[in-house]
Amino acid sequence: MTSDRLKLGIIGLGIMGERLMRAALAHPGTDVVAVWDPSDAAVGRLAGITGDVTMSGSVEQVIAAAEAVYVASPPDSHIALGQAALAAGKALFLEKPLASDVPAARAFVAGAQGQRAAVNFPMASSPTIAQLRRWRPEIGRIERIEIRAEFAGWPRGWQKGAASWLSKRADGGFTREVVSHFLFLAQRWGGPLRLAEASVTYPEGDGSETAIAARLWAGDVPVALTGSVGTTRADEHNLTTIIGSKGQLRLRDWSYAEKLEADGQWRTAPDAMPNAEMRPLTLAGQLDKLAALARGEETELASLAEALSVMEAVEGILAS
């Protein structure tokens, strides 16, 4: 980095690109120097976010202007854009999933070894996950992890603008988009993921999955996973429960850290807050770590290898 402030370029100004951009504009150590998105509508969105950055004319312009490049385009473009950023010597921050093609992703990760690259799994900076880590010694040895994710419909209400690909079997679906976060967490707490068995239900046509069930291993910790659409009245509901030899912890609805007390009741962390309120804190933490990555420092951002392990498990489930 040439200054104390990170020069960030953003490729893709959809939901995730806009979220990180807004966080970066509020971040004291980050300057958004370039943005590119091929959509005409994105030009208007950018103008509504800030008047200080105008839409760049190409991907190449974004990469040239930035010290770190955030790729928030659809998954089938991640590898090509990531390779371009790394070839230019820039730090790379890929939106998850890592890619849409497993063999191509494996080759990309192998070729990127030793370079400054990470994937945006925000749980790496989540205050909620930090609270669960503080409680972790109280539950003893981790014996089992259970993950449940339920949705009223898919895509979720706020994602309708991206339904053209999120609702499709090729690149979309809740397993890639949502369940991958909880598998990343299981991997961080247990070890590398290995799929044991899975089943998946698809609708007629090319729509994304409506139900999954799987057994996996995270290191030597068994993981039970279920996911379904149309099984909750809420837009979504999720629980990740970590069962230890002396107690249990869980992550509820993204942002609530909870501990099972001796009376059988779940205690929520006193400083817990809804996900919408926690998200800016989490993204600020991600940007802090991205700046460290750009300086060549070790960080707790999700590595390409970790993201590949999650991707292999997800794609294995979807192919079952």
Q: Where are the domains of the chain?
A: 6-120, 127-275+309-318
Residue 221, pLDDT > 60, answer: yes
pLDDT mean over 210-214? 98
pLDDT mean over 66-86? 96
- Average pLDDT of every residue of the chain: 96
pLDDT tier at 100 (50, 70, 90 boundaries)?
confident
- What's the CATH class of domain 6-120? alpha beta
Residue 94, pLDDT > 90, answer: yes
What is the secondary structure of 177-192 as a DSSP string? IIIHHHHHHHHHHH-S
pTM: 0.95
Query: Residue 162 has what pLDDT?
Result: 82
pLDDT tier at 3 (50, 70, 90 boundaries)?
low
Percent of the residues in the chain that have a pLDDT greater than 70, as a whole number: 99
Residue 1, pLDDT > 70, answer: no
Residue 14, pLDDT > 70, answer: yes
Q: How far apart are CA 308 and CA 143, in angstroms?
A: 24
What is the secondary structure of 97-160 as a DSSP string? SS-S-HHHHHHHHHHTTTSSEEEE-GGGS-HHHHHHHHHGGGG-SEEEEEEEEEESSSS-GGGG
Domain 6-120 shares a fold with domain 127-275+309-318: no
pLDDT mean over 267-281? 96
Residue 130, pLDDT > 70, answer: yes
Task: Note the CATH number of domain 127-275+309-318.
Answer: 3.30.360.10
pLDDT tier at 165 (50, 70, 90 boundaries)?
confident
Residue 256, pLDDT > 80, answer: yes
Residue pair 224/190 in contact (Cβ under 8 Å)? The answer is no
